[in-house]
Amino acid sequence: MNVNRIIEVYQGETLNALREFIFAWWQHNNITAVLAPVELSNPAGVQLAVIEDPQQLMSVNPFAPVMINNTAGEALQILDNHSFEKLALILRPCELRTFIELGNIGRLPTGLENTLLVGVDCPGVLYPDEFRRQVDILGVETLTRSVLHDLSEGHLQSTSMRKACQICRWSSPSRADVVIGVMGVDVENVILIIARDEIIDAREHLERVTFKLASEYQLSHRETILGALAEKREEVRNKMNANFQDQCPFNDLGCLLSFFANCTLCGECLKACPIFEFRKTASLHKASLVEDLVLISRWLASCTGCGMCEQECEQGVPLSLVVNSLNHRICQELQYTPGEINQEVPWIK
Ligand code: SF4
Ligand code: SF4
Ligand code: SF4
């Protein structure tokens, strides 16, 4: 059963409270590195960093509304090349699901017992250009503060967010060891820290680094807000899937391909996708249309909807729409949900 705790926020400084919490947690738990988004000052922005000096935690910002890469893909590369005594990954819900899915499809290295999965609530992110525009006006800290303030007020859905975020199925992380909860939470005063179970709560010494247990009201309010957001997004997603199906029935390949009319085959969408790798593993000399179709269907079945493919496309190909619709259809047929822990992929049953 979850153990729900809170940390206190002083003078509305939510990010500072979070940073101090992670710092204290580091010290109590012999963490050796944290992979997380950090703020940059010149030019102002955010990038992913492996933090090995706890002082650097003071620039961590997992709530800046931008996603530069899918952290799960970065984590995979890091774990392939380094070993840490205890690495904490701070992940948005889609990134966490991607990390788990990479495990399901056999791409994670073994021996990850000391990798701690920390999930953060995510109201969605902006396209990088829009993020930069808003950062130029407000700065990263103020922009983040305004996002957190909106969360507190229950204003969660915005049409300026990426399409993938407007239809995202998972605004709160599932299967994280520890969740940093801000949605539907009075973030100017508290942040929720939720351990997956009593064992993790005790192992991570969360009692020592938090203030007290969360109240029933705090938890149920968060659930209500999350439920309302999930409903809104489901509505947008269903409408989008229905429009797509009307415009482009699945038996009309020509129509589907017309979405790619502007594609220049630059490959940036594929590079941005941590799940896509079949060109690296498939032996090209015996690649056939059937082999490609099978591998594409497996890739799409494992898609976790992170939106990085569409974000990287400079030609405006509506990949979130296409990928989400195909993923939905394939997963329905296969009765598969990408990103669920210990799930057997259908093609090795
Ligand atoms: S796809 Fe979902 S989890 Fe990922 S950034 Fe968007 S809202 Fe957040
Ligand atoms: S990023 Fe866009 S233009 Fe480039 S290959 Fe992908 S869909 Fe085509
Ligand atoms: S196909 Fe696109 S949305 Fe799906 S996991 Fe890859 S990058 Fe993310």
Q: Which comes out higher in pLDDT, residue 206 or 240? A: 206
Q: Can you tell me which atom of ligand 2 is nearest the CA of 319?
A: 7
CA of 99 to the centre of ligand 3 (A): 12
CA of 125 to the centre of ligand 1 (A): 7
**C-beta of 306 in contact with ligand 1 (< 6 A):** yes
pLDDT of 250 higher than 90: no
Ligand nearest to the CA of 304: 3
**C-beta of 191 in contact with ligand 1 (< 6 A):** no
Average pLDDT, the chain: 90
**C-beta of 147 in contact with ligand 1 (< 6 A):** no
Q: Which comes out higher in pLDDT, residue 40 or 288? A: 40
Q: Which residue, judged by its Cα, is nearest atom 5 of ligand 1?
A: 124
Band (pLDDT 50/70/90 cuts) for residue 253 is confident
Q: Which comes out higher in pLDDT, residue 262 or 288? A: 262
Ligand nearest to the CA of 309: 3
Give me the pLDDT at residue 268, please: 95
d(CA 345, CA 88): 26
> 42-46, 246-250, 323-327, 337-341: lowest mean pLDDT where?
246-250
Give me the pLDDT at residue 342, please: 75
* Residue of 303, 295, 304 lying closest to 347 (CA atoms): 295
Per mean pLDDT, which of 122-136, 144-158, 247-261, 284-298 is the most reliable? 122-136
Ligand nearest to the CA of 266: 2
Band (pLDDT 50/70/90 cuts) for residue 243 is confident
Mean pLDDT within 269-280? 84
Q: Summarize pLDDT for 100-145 with one digit per residue, the tens.
A: 999 999 888 887 888 999 999 998 999 999 999 999 999 999 999 9
d(CA 4, CA 192): 7
**C-beta of 284 in contact with ligand 2 (< 6 A):** no
For residue 320, the tally of other CB atoms under 10 A from its CB is 24
Give me the pLDDT at residue 157, please: 65
Cα distances from 98 to residues 17, 74, 338, 340, in angstroms, run 28, 11, 8, 9
pLDDT of 279 higher than 60: no
pTM of the model: 0.94
Residues 60, 36 contacting (CB under 8 angstroms): yes
Query: DSSP string spanning 286-322?
Result: G--HHHHHHHHHHHHHT-----HHHHH-TT---HHHH
**C-beta of 13 in contact with ligand 2 (< 6 A):** no
Give me the pLDDT at residue 170, please: 86
Give me the pLDDT at residue 23, please: 96
Q: Which residue, judged by its Cα, is nearest atom 2 of ligand 3?
A: 309
The residues that bridge with 4 in the sheet, in sequence order, are 194
Band (pLDDT 50/70/90 cuts) for residue 158 is confident
For residue 340, the tally of other CB atoms under 10 A from its CB is 13
**C-beta of 267 in contact with ligand 2 (< 6 A):** yes
Report angle CA 218, 221, 222 to the nearest 5 degrees. Answer: 85
CA of 67 to the centre of ligand 3 (A): 13
Which amino acid is it at 277? E
For residue 297, the tally of other CB atoms under 10 A from its CB is 15
| CA-only gyration radius of the chain, Å | 20
CA of 92 to the centre of ligand 1 (A): 7
Mean pLDDT within 271-298? 77
pLDDT of 70 higher than 90: yes
Q: Which of 167, 276, 296, 322 should be mutated for ligand 3, with most atoms under 8 A from CB?
A: 276
Give me the pLDDT at residue 83, please: 84
Burial annotation 177-189 (CB, 10 A radius, 16+ → b, else e): bbbbbbbbbebbe
Give me the pLDDT at residue 24, please: 96
Query: DSSP string spanning 85-125?
Result: SSEEEEE-HHHHHHHHHHHHTT-SPS--TTEEEEEE-----
Q: Which residue, judged by its Cα, is nearest atom 4 of ligand 1?
A: 94
- Of all residues in the chain, what percent are helix, strand and coil, respectively (each to 5)? 50, 15, 35
pLDDT of 221 higher than 60: yes
pLDDT of 154 higher than 70: no
**C-beta of 309 in contact with ligand 3 (< 6 A):** yes
Helix and strand numbers (H, E) in the chain are 15, 8
d(CA 177, CA 200): 7
